[in-house]
Amino acid sequence: MATFAQLYSPQAVLPMIAADLGVAPATAALSVSACTLGLAAAVIPWSMVADRVGRVPAMAIGILAATVLGVAAPFAGDIGLFLVVRLLEGAALGAVPAVALAYLSEEVDAGHAAAAAGSYVAGTTVGGLAGRLVSGPVADLVEWRAGLWAVAGLCAASAVLFLWLVPRARGFVLHRHLPERGPRIAARLAVNLRSPVQLVLYAQAFLLMGGFVGIYNYLGFHLTAPPFALPAWIVTLLFLAYLAGTLTSPWAGSLAARHGRLPVLLASVGCSILGLVLMFVPVVPALLVGLVVFTAGFFGAHAIASGWAPTAARPDTRAQASSLYYLAYYGGSSVFGWALGWLFADVGWEVFVAAIIAMCAVAGALAALALRRPAPTPAPVPGASPTG
C-alpha cells in the first residue's frame, strides 16, 4: 500500500492532468513513467544498500523518503518540476521492489516461496488499486492535486503500519566489516545477466509490464472520448479490475507449487492475450470483461516470474536477481507507458491493442523456448557470503 498506491495514483487522473496543464496524453503519462523510471534506476543501488544495512532497514528508509516526496509532488506548479519530483519519488520507492522478494526468499521455506511471492504480488495489486480509487474520485470532486494528496496521506499511514508490523529478518546475516566494492557487485550482476533463465524472466517483466501499463494509461482516454464519452468517475471504477490480480496472484503461486512454474506462466500469458482480444470489441461490457481477464493473466504471470528470479539465482546474488527483474519491469513500464501513447494517438485503439498482443506473444514464446529445462546453477561469486 505504502509503495504502489503512490506509484500509480496519477494514472486515474491522467486526462485531468493533460487538460489542466495543457499537455498531450503521452506527456501526461510521463507522471507515471517518470516515477517508474526513477524506480528502475534505483533498484540495483537499493539492493547494494540492503546488502550493507539489511533488508528491513533499507525498505524502511525508502518508504519514509517516498512518503515525504509524495506529499511534495502536487505542489509543483508546472509539468517539468512535477516530473522531477515524481522521478525522485520513484527512486525512493525502489527500495521495496528491490528488496522485498529477496527478503521473502530468505525468510520463507523454499517449498512455500512461490506462494509467498504470489501473496506479496497480491498485496501490490491492493496498493495499486487503492491509489487509483482514492485519487480518481477525490480529483473528480476537487482537482487532481487533491487526489494525489489524499493518496499521500493513505501512504503515510501505511508506512507507519509497515514499520510497526514488519518481522525482523532472521535469514539474512549482516556483514558490516566487509566493504561493498564495485567489482563484487558487478560480478553479482554478471552472474544473473549470463543466465538464460534470468534473461528470459527479465524479458517477461519488460514486455508484460510495458503492455499492462500501456492499457491502464490510455484506456481512460479511450473511454472518455466518443463514442463512449464516459464520465471520469465511471472510468475510475474500471480500476476495480485490479481485484482480478489480487485473486490470481496467490492462486498462481499455489498452482506453480503443484504443477510447476512454466505451465502456469504460459497459461497466464495466454489469459492476458485472450483479454486483449476481447478489448477489440467496441462496447463497454466487452472492454470491461477483457480488462478483467487481461489483468488476471498479467498478475498471474508477474507472480510467477518475480518469485522465480530470486529463487533461480545463487543465494549470494538473490538481491541482485530480484533488482534486475524489477529494473526490467519498471523499465518496460517507463518505456512503453510513454511510447505506446504516441501509437495510440497516431493510429488508434485497435493498432495499439494489437501491438500489446504482439508483446505478450513474444514474452510467451521466449518463456516456452528457454524455460523448458532448468538451467545449471551459476557458480558463486568469489568471496561473497551465502546470504549477502
Interior CA angle at 143 toward 139 and 145, to 5°? 90
- Span 282-304, mean pLDDT? 93
Q: Provide the pLDDT for residue 82.
A: 94
**Distance, CA of 281 to CA of 375 (rounded, Å):** 41
**Distance, CA of 291 to CA of 378 (rounded, Å):** 39
Q: Provide the pLDDT for residue 234.
A: 82
Domains of the chain from N-terminus onward? 4-167+180-370 (1.20.1250.20)
**Distance, CA of 139 to CA of 31 (rounded, Å):** 16
As a whole number, the mean pLDDT across the chain is 85
Q: Summarize pLDDT for 317-356 with one digit per residue, the tens.
A: 877 888 789 889 988 988 898 889 899 989 999 999 999 9
Q: Summarize pLDDT for 153-201 with one digit per residue, the tens.
A: 999 999 999 889 888 777 665 544 444 455 577 888 888 888 899 999 9
Q: Do residues 52 and 180 touch, judged by C-beta distance below 8 A? A: yes
More confident residue, 384 or 124: 124
**Residues 238, 244, 249, 253, Cα dihedral to 10°:** -160
Q: Provide the pLDDT for residue 306.
A: 87
Confidence label for 373 from pLDDT (cuts 50, 70 and 90): low
pTM for this one? 0.76
- Sign of the C-alpha dihedral computed for residues 55, 181, 328 and 76 taken in this order: positive
Length of the chain: 388
More confident residue, 59 or 112: 59
**Distance, CA of 158 to CA of 156 (rounded, Å):** 5
